[in-house]
Amino acid sequence: MTIEAGQIVVWVLVFLRTGAFFMGIPLFAGKMVPTRIKTAFALLLSLLINPMVPANLDIANHFVGAIILSINEICIGLLLAMVVRMVFFAVELAGHLISYEIGLMASSSVNPLLGSSDSTITTLLYYFSLLIFFVQGIHYDVIKAFVLSFELLPIGSFFLTANPTAEFVDEVTHVFVLGTLIAAPFIALNFLINISFAVLGKAVPKMNVFMTSFSIRILSGLVLLVSSILLISSYIIDHSKRSVEVMLDIIQLG
């Protein structure tokens, strides 16, 4: 059995796109999963899909062309991974907004997945969304869409020919929209509490409105968080499934 140089180049390019994808998707993007594990997953997946990957290596007949194709495949992998992570960015934004509205912004905890210190609500929502992502089997759809990306944008095709900029920017705007939608009930709750205690402060001037409203805001916010779990879950599930479709739409050649 002989292995041609072209087959080796194709496998390396497939590995680069797969490795970049695994570096950016949820769970694997943080510091909790070692780089060797990420590389092993990328190596295994690239070996499995390499025989059925179409490729056009006309530009790879010299060193500069191979470098350009390598950078192109890394950009495609990162682009697809960022589309999947948009939902988690929105969840983190919602966590910060909720923490600020209910008065728990000062409460922080270490997120071992991301290797950063976030507010407790943000870390809780991140774990919750990650759990839903795997329980609902969305990770299977993500992997299927990634494998299909080699048919829509074969090896050797430049990702800029698909003109992904406009759709990617539109997807970024959805981060702010989704984050605000998740946090909207808590924003309304904080507004009602502030209005109520402002009126109460005028009616009872000797009452310590600030300290009382602070405890009420935290208690009512936690009760609302538990009550809105199903609503938050539906947002995460719907937009995670939508991100799988966007993965394929963003690299369509026309």
Domain boundaries, the chain: 5-249
In angstroms, the CA 16 to CA 136 distance is: 28
CB atoms within 10 A of CB 81: 21
Contact 78, 22 (CB under 8 A): no
pLDDT band at 1 (very low <50, low <70, confident <90, very high): very low
Contacts 24+ apart (CB under 8 A), 159-162: 159/72, 159/75, 159/76, 159/79, 159/251, 161/253, 162/250, 162/251, 162/252, 162/253, 162/254
Q: Record the pTM.
A: 0.83
pLDDT band at 72 (very low <50, low <70, confident <90, very high): confident
Residue 103: per-residue pLDDT:
77
In angstroms, the CA 88 to CA 236 distance is: 9
Residue 139: per-residue pLDDT:
86
Residues 12-38 pLDDT 10s: 888 888 888 888 887 777 677 777 888
pLDDT band at 115 (very low <50, low <70, confident <90, very high): low
- By CB atoms closer than 10 A (0-12, 13-18, 19+), residue 141 is middle
What is the DSSP code string of 9-45?
HHHHHHHHHHHHHHHHSTTTSSSSS-HHHHHHHHHHH
